[in-house]
Structure 1
Amino acid sequence: MILPPVAAETAPHERAEAAAPMITFEGVTKRFGEGTEAFTALDGIDMTVNRGAIAGIIGRSGAGKSTLIRLVNGLEKATSGQVVVDGTEVGGLNDAGLRGLRREVAMIFQHFNLLSSRTAFDNVALPLEIAGLDRKAIRAKVGPLLDLVGLGDKATRYPSELSGGQKQRVGIARALATSPKLLLSDEATSALDPETTQSILALLKQINAELGLTVLLITHEMEVIKTIASHVAVIDKGRIVEQGPTFDVFTAPQHETTRILLSSTLGTSLPEWLRSGLKAEPAAGDRILVRLTFFGATAFQPLTARLVTEIGGDVNILAGAIEEIAGEPFGTLVVSYPASPEILDRANRFYAETGLSTEVLGYVA
C-alpha cells in the first residue's frame, strides 16, 4: 500500500501519480532476543511513504510503532526484509553511512530532549557545531529557523524558561538545522495540552508545505492523525492491519483494532444503557437505530430535515458530531424511528435516492 502526499493545490490522486517513494518497508521483520526468549516486535511490514507526504502510524502502546520508526534512521536494524530511505537500503550502511543518513533524517521527541545548560539558540546550533560550521554560518542558519518556528524573540532563553510548546518548537528548529529531507515524529505531542498540540501540528503542516519535507509520525492519538496526516497505517501486535487515506480509514474502518481506536474519536458512541439494550432483530413496536454518515456531496445538504419530512415527525436524534478529517468535512448522526415495515421502506427509498451512507446499529423497545 502506497501512502501518497497531499498538498493544498493538488488532489491526493494527482500528487500520488507523480510522487516518488521516500520510505519503503519491504517484508520487514524485527526480533529481539534469541531462542525461546525471542520476541517478534515487527512481523512482515510492507508500506511505502511518498516524498512530500505527511503519513501517520497509529497503534496501542507496545504495538511496534517506536521500533518501526527507529528502523528508518538506523537506530534499529531489521532482522529480515529491507528499509529503503530515498533509494538507500538502511540495513546495508556502515557507521559513516549511518551518520550521513541521520543528517538527512531528523527526529523530534515526546520529551523534547533539549540540553538544559544551553539556550534555545545554542540547542538549535548544536547539530551545526557537530557538523563543523563556523559561528557566522551557524548564526545565519539558526536565526531564520527560530523565526520559522515562532521563537525569534526567545533565542537567549533556557529550556527552564520555556513552555512545553515552546520547547517542542525549539526541538523542531533543531531537527531542521541540517536541512533534512525527512522528519520523524515520535509521539511529539503526547506531553502537550490540546491547544498546544494543535499549534505544533499547524507548524508541522506549514513546514511540510513550505519546505516540501516528508513527515512520518507515530502516535496513539487519533486526533493527531485526523488533523495532520493524509494517510495512516494502523499497527497491532507488530503487523499493519489497515492502511490507506486517513479519510477512508476513519469513515469506514475495516479492522476491529481500528474501530476500537476510533470508538471515542468521532463523537457518536452510544451510552452504555442504550448500547446494552440493542437487539439484532426487531419485535412489534420496536424502534430502529441508524447511524447516518455525511461526507462529499451529502455533507452540506439538509438531509436530516428531509428525512423527517419523508418518514414523519417521530425521529429522535441520539448522538451526532461534525468533523474535519484530513481537510474533508465529515458528519455522523445517530437517529431512531419506528421500525414498522412502512416507515422502514420509506426511509430506505430516501437513503437510496440521496446516496446517504447508513448503518443499522440495532433495535430497541
Structure 2
Amino acid sequence: MAPRNAAPDTLHLEPVGLLQNPSGVPTDLVRLEGVSKVFPASKASAAVAALDGIDLSAAAGSITAIIGRSGAGKSTLIRLINGLEKPTTGRVMVGSTDVAALAETGLRDIRRSIGMIFQHFNLLSSRTVFDNVALPLEIAGTRRADIAKRVTPLLDLVGLADKRDRYPSELSGGQKQRVGIARALATRPALLLSDEATSALDPETTQSVLDLLKRINRELGLTILLITHEMEVVKRIADHVAVIDKGRIVERGSAFEIFSAPRHETTKVLLSGVPGMQIPDYVAARLTHEPSPASQTVMRVVFTGPHATDPVLSRLTGELGLELNILGGAVDEIAGEPFGTLLVSFPADAARLALMRSFLGQRGLKTEVLGYVA
C-alpha cells in the first residue's frame, strides 16, 4: 500500500508480506466469511454464541465503523481480526492471510501490520511518552537508533513532540490517547483497529482525536476499523457502517445511507439520539400507531442530495395549500454530504398524506410516518 503525501524518510507504510497484494488491484483488506464464535459452557455459565454467520468486509484505505449495543459482539469481532480469538467456524482474512490458520509465529508477524488503540489507553505508567511509543519496536528487536528515527516523527504527527519525556500521569486523556495512536503506528501497520477509543474522552477532545484519525487515514492510506457505540463518531469520519445485533450483521452500507435511511429497527434505535432523528419528548409521549378522530400525522422528512437546501416545504404549502406544523429539525453533514431532517405534523388524512409523499418524492426527499398524535 503506497503512502499518500508522506514526507520522505519519515512516515510511510511498509506492510509486511502477509498483507501485500501481488496483483496491485484495489481490494478488501479485511474479510470475514461465515464467521461464528461460540464460547463453550463452563461451570459458571452456559455456552454463549457471540457471533453468528458474520460476513463483513473493509476496503483498503477506508474507515469502516461497526456499531451496536453493548453485548452485541463488537469486541469479540475485533479480537478475531487481530488473532486474540479464533472463530468457531468461518474465515477471518486480513489481506490474503487467514488469521485463524496462523501459528503463534505467524500471528506475531501479522500483528505488526495491525495496530490497536484502546478505550483506556493501556499505557505503561513507568515509561515516558517516547518509551511507550517505542515499546512495540523494542519487542520487535529494532535498533535504538532506528527506533528514534521512527518515534520522533510519530510524536510530531500526533502533536506530542514537546511531551516526549513526560509520563502518562502528567498527560490529559486526549494526550494519552494520542500516545496510544502513535504507539499503534510504530510498526507501520496497514490496518488500525479502534475499540471504543473515544468513549472515555470529552466531546472536544473526541473531536480532535477523530480529526487526527481522519488525517492518518488520508495521508498514510491507513485502513481503519472502528468499534463504537457513539453515533457522532461514526457520522464524523466513517465511510462505511455495519450494524451488529445479537451476533449478526443486520444492516450495512455507506455512512450516508445508514444515517439518511436506516432500515433495521436496531439501527433506528442506535440513531435515535442523533440530532434531527430525535422525537421531542412532548411528541413521543403522545405518539400512537393508529390514527384517531382529529389526530395529526407525524412525519419525518429527510433532505439529501441536490435538494437538501431547497425551500421545498414553502413550495409544498404554496402550491398545494397544505398546512404543516413544524415539530423539530436539524441540518448536518454526513460523510461530506448535506443532510437535513424536519419533523412535521398535519391532519391525518390518507389523500393528504399520499399527495405530500408524491410531491416530496418527486423532489428526491424521503419521508417516514412515525405515528399519530391527538
What does 1:105-144 align with in structure 2 at a 5 Å threshold? 105-144=114-153
Q: Equivalent residue for 2:366?
A: 357
Q: Equivalent residue for 2:33?
A: 26
Which residue identity lines up with residue 259 of structure 1 in the other structure?
A: K
Cα pair 1:71 1:77 within 8 Å, conserved: yes
Q: Equivalent residue for 1:50?
A: 59
Note the aligned Cα RMSD (angstroms): 2.0
Secondary structure (helix, strand or coil) at the match of 1:218 reads strand
Give how far 1:58 is off.
0.8
In 2, Cα distance between equivalents of 1:164 and 1:106: 20
In 2, Cα distance between equivalents of 1:268 and 1:196: 24
TM-score normalised by L of structure 2: 0.88
Query: What per-residue deviation string (whole Å, max 9, x for no partner) do you get for residues 97-132 of structure 1?
Result: 010011111100001011111111111111111222
Q: How many residues align?
A: 349
1:305 aligns with 2:346: no
What does 1:8-23 align with in structure 2 at a 5 Å threshold? 19-23=26-30
Q: Equivalent residue for 1:12?
A: none
Cα pair 1:319 1:334 within 8 Å, conserved: yes
Q: Equivalent residue for 1:162?
A: 171
Q: List gaps (5 residues or longer) in structure 2.
A: 5-24
Q: 1:198 aligns with which of 204, 207, 210?
A: 207
In 2, Cα distance between equivalents of 1:284 and 1:39: 49
In 2, Cα distance between equivalents of 1:154 and 1:352: 55
Q: Equivalent residue for 2:234?
A: 225
Q: 1:85 aligns with which of 89, 94, 109?
A: 94
Give how far 1:317 is off.
0.9
TM-score normalised by L of structure 1: 0.90
Secondary structure (helix, strand or coil) at the match of 2:33 reads strand
In 1, Cα distance between equivalents of 2:221 and 2:75: 24
Q: 1:188 aligns with which of 197, 202, 221?
A: 197
> Which sits farther off after the overlay, 128-137 or 266-275?
266-275
Secondary structure (helix, strand or coil) at the match of 1:114 reads coil
Q: List gaps (5 residues or longer) in structure 1.
A: 1-6, 8-17
Query: What per-residue deviation string (whole Å, max 9, x for no partner) do you get for residues 326-363 of structure 1?
Result: 22111100112334677556534532442322222333
Give the 3 Å change call, closer, same or farther, for CA 342–69 of structure 1 in structure 2.
Answer: closer
In 2, Cα distance between equivalents of 1:44 and 1:240: 8
Q: Equivalent residue for 1:103?
A: 112
